[in-house]
Structure 1
Amino acid sequence: MRYLINSDKLNILTELDSNRQQELANKYNVTQQAISKIKKRKECYQSVIKSENVARRSRCPSSNLYTLLDSLVFEFIQLLEERNLPVDDKLIKAKALSVAQSLGLNSFVASANWFMKFKKRNDVRRLKQHGESRCVDLEVVENWFLKLPDIVKDFEPDCIYNADESSFYWKALPTSSYLTRGSDQHGIKQSKLRVSVMFCCNRFGGKEKIMIIGFRARPHCFKKFNYDLSTIGVNYKYNSSSYMTSALFNEWLVEWDNRLIEEKKKILLFVDNCPAHKLTADLKNITLIKLPPNTTSHCQPLDCGIIANVKNLYRSKIIQRLAPSVENDINLLDSLKELQLIDGIEMLQGCWFNVKPDTIVNCYTKAGFPLN
């Protein structure tokens, strides 16, 4: 992607009346989002560019120089944003001082007050960066979306499945909270106790049993279910790493394939390119399709909001469970110690089946799957 200078932006503003945004994006080798931003800030850019031209003739009033300063610092932030480099307040202030010196604004101070007003003027906010979507090749995604209708055309929506694994930190609390004014609440050290969980659902919103992959064959807390979690609709496996392996994956596929043979049902199963998803079994009624590499944040339904929804429901559930104990003056850490793996699995199972079918259907649509 190309970095636009002010003359480019002026040309784009001139051409917007007679050209579509996507056409201009292709012409200038930028994203359509960048063109949209320029259109929204039309008056600002025209004013700044005019001020910049005046400044070059050394007859620029001080107010215009400060407008130009704002613009150049804002463009600097956009440039680093496009190149995926995180930006903090110190870097912005240092850039502002450098630009101010080049403009002859020797009295300028990048104070906390200036920075606060700069953020407000330019709608700059500090946000947490999530996921891996910036690493995705959008051209690959678009090509996949074009191929997808042909891949699924012979299957009904309830025969199109997606499966994916995720880490399950069953004692981890939410990292954000509503606080009263003046509160000085601090967080606690999050628990690192982890197992893996695999989710699987179809295009129509139907769900399969979750698979939990733990470290031990018979955790003591499973005793109340006679060490058989199938009685609560959970498939439990284990290995030394508590991660999915090719052996576990193929064992699960064979078991499911045998059930499908009895039901006389054939399905299409989409999975990502994780090495553990290497197919070694001979399947009769399951056709396994691998998603394009490094595109799961766009192409995998479970990564488009389904797993996030389950985890949000779980975080809410764990707080509801702990709140009465804390309200009765029991220390939060002591309450967490009482929470066992089986408690977390039971809550997770409930949260999984509380995910609305509409949520699943919408996430499939977001991932490019057509509605047959």
Structure 2
Amino acid sequence: MMKAIHIAKGVMMVTKQRPRILEDVEKLLLVWINKKQLAGDTVTEGIICKKAGAWYNDLKTKLPGPSVKNEESFKASSGWFKNFKRRTDLHSVVRHGEAASANTKAAEVFVKEFERLVVSECYVPQQVFKCDKMGLFWKKMPKSTYITAEEKVMSGHKPMKDCLTLLFCANASNDFKVKPLLIYHAENPQAFKKCKFQKSQLNVLLRSNSKA
């Protein structure tokens, strides 16, 4: 049976200093990840680790000095990646459905065609409008929460799925905004009846749909 090893009093723990070349690799990685993010490309742990290993070997061959050449080979392992995320606050997110399924090439073609249309018809920014919809889950609770170290579990709750659909529209010069459209599943919400509230007093155009 192995016994636990205790550090004697007065003995300092020795930590291994991270090589400068590894810090340069991680700086390059952050710039590269940011470019990939702006381009809408997917970046996984495997891709990042492979890129880190390739850059490390490339920099190692280019930097002068025998000390660099004699350094231990760098392994972009899961442990390194975990520490890299902690040092840089890198985190994973789930892609939005519409953004993930968007046709980038078709969008680029549309932009060029739209620009030609604006020029040929002599439209000004005040005449060019864009509208887009969004769903607002106004009662939805977060899926996770922080609890104290003394607690082991957190009691569950029934998730709320009440959703509003909103439509926003404005022109390219940003000097005219159309009144937002709000679609709710009830034509006359119960709260309006109790407070005797008139829909005409709202700052939005209220419409109803059972599948809102």
- Of 64, 79, 83, the residue aligned with 1:116 is 79
Q: Structure 2: how far apart are the matches of 1:124 and 1:193?
A: 33
Determine which of 111, 132, 137 is the counterpart of 1:164: 132
Distance (whole Å) between structure 2 residues aligned to residue 235 and residue 225 of structure 1: 19
Question: Structure 2 vs 1, CA of residues 133 and 198 (structure 1 numbering), >3 Å: closer, same or farther?
Answer: closer
Whichever residue aligns with residue 129 of structure 1, its letter is V
Gapped runs of 5+ residues in structure 1? 1-30, 50-60, 71-113, 243-372
- Code of the residue aligned with 2:82 in structure 1: it is K
Q: CA deviation at 1:127?
A: 0.6
Per-residue deviation, residues 211-236 of structure 1 (Å, max 9, x unmatched): 22222222221126745322122211
Q: 2:167 aligns with which of 198, 223, 233?
A: 198
Higher share of residues assigned helix: 1
Map residues 303-318 of structure 1 onto 2, 5 A cutoff: none
Deviation, 1:44, is: 0.9
Say whether the 8 Å CA contact 1:169–1:194 is kept in structure 2: yes
Query: Is the counterpart of residue 127 in structure 1 residue 72 in structure 2?
Result: no
Please, what TM-score do these two structures have when normalized by structure 2? 0.52
Query: Quick check: 1:234 aligned with 2:204?
Result: yes
Identify the structure with bigger relative contact order (alpha carbons < 8 Å, sequence gap 6+).
Answer: 1
Provide the rounded CA distance (Å) in 2 between the counterparts of 1:41 and 1:124.
20
State the Cα deviation string for residues 184-220 of structure 1 (Å, max 9, x = none): 6958543111232222222122322222222222222
The equivalent residue for 1:155 is: 123
**Partner of 1:84 in structure 2?**
none
Classify 1:182/1:155 alpha carbon distance in 2 versus 1 (closer, same or farther; 3 Å).
farther
**CA deviation map 1:128-156 (0-9, x unaligned):** 12214343333222222222222233322
TM-score, reference length from structure 1: 0.32
CA distance in 1, matches of 2:201, 2:93: 40
Alpha-carbon distance in 2 for matches of 1:183, 1:117: 30
Matching of residue 208 in structure 1 with residue 171 in structure 2: no
- Whole-angstrom CA distance in 2 between matches of 1:225 and 1:157: 42
Aligned-pair Cα RMSD in Å: 4.4
Paired residues in the alignment total 152
Partner of 1:347: none
Q: Residue 192 of structure 2: SS of its match in structure 1?
A: helix
Which string of whole-angstrom CA distances, capped at 9 and with x for unpartnered residues, describes residues 330-368 of structure 1? xxxxxxxxxxxxxxxxxxxxxxxxxxxxxxxxxxxxxxx
C-alpha separation between the residues in 1 aligned to 2:184 and 2:124?
34
